[in-house]
Structure 1
Amino acid sequence: MADELLGLEEVLATLEEKLGEDRVKVVVNKALRKAGDEAEKGLTQMSHKFVRTGATTKQIVKGNVSWADYGIPRIKIGWRAAGGGESPRWNIEHLNEFGYTRDGVSYSPRGFGQMQKLIDEQEISYPKIAQEELKELLR
């Protein structure tokens, strides 16, 4: 049926059949890089809300597109490994995101829940980015 609603996986499979796997991978990689850029920008903006030394913002990195896990494309955004006297950000951000308890007192830092909020926003914006990029295949 022409008016049947398909999920993203079905759309990609149909496009691969019609246009070829290589062409679809190029566009999927482009869409992921674009979404990764947006997520990296959002993470940087989020980290400015609770900046103290600026190290959290300086250590944000975006990886390359990877197809390693079962052929599912992904891109990682996070903090680079500490080196040269830098403190490791991932464990600090874990405490910042979820809070912590010290001597029976619970603390909710300024960054409490901010990464989850960013993830929720990305769940809305990513499909829009994917849709825009998939339109390129139809040209």
Structure 2
Amino acid sequence: MSGTEGVDRPDGPTYEEWVAALDRNGFYLECANGHGSLPPRRVCPECGDTDLTQRSLPGTGTVATFSEVHVAGPAFAGETPYVTAVVDFGPVRLTGVLREVAADEVAVGDEVRADVEPDGPGDRPLVVFRPA
């Protein structure tokens, strides 16, 4: 994730703040219409509602799609090949690196749990998934 270092977005917390929250007690924000927002934002990206409620991120999610990366940017060059995945956690999706599973063992629909590696590339926290 290049270009996210210390960037304050007007619609939500910094990347570092959000990952720290995920590591402690994962959450997302939900509007009255049931739209989820992850990473959390101050305004619902679907309908513009500003009355948002914090909800706990489910303990497990399901793999929606994945890809095995063989050619990576400099920060991940030493980790190739590795698997990235998009995972459904209720009404929200989260992207991260899948650990402890080889690409030929991953399937859409697999259950995983979110985790944070505090010392990811560039000494920044990294969102990862592990088998549930």
Q: Same fold (TM over 0.5)?
A: no
TM-score w.r.t. structure 2 length? Answer: 0.25
Structure with the largest fraction of strand? 2
Scaled by the length of structure 1, the TM-score of the pair is: 0.24
Bigger share in helix = 1
The structure with higher relative contact order (CA 8 Å, sep 6+) is 1
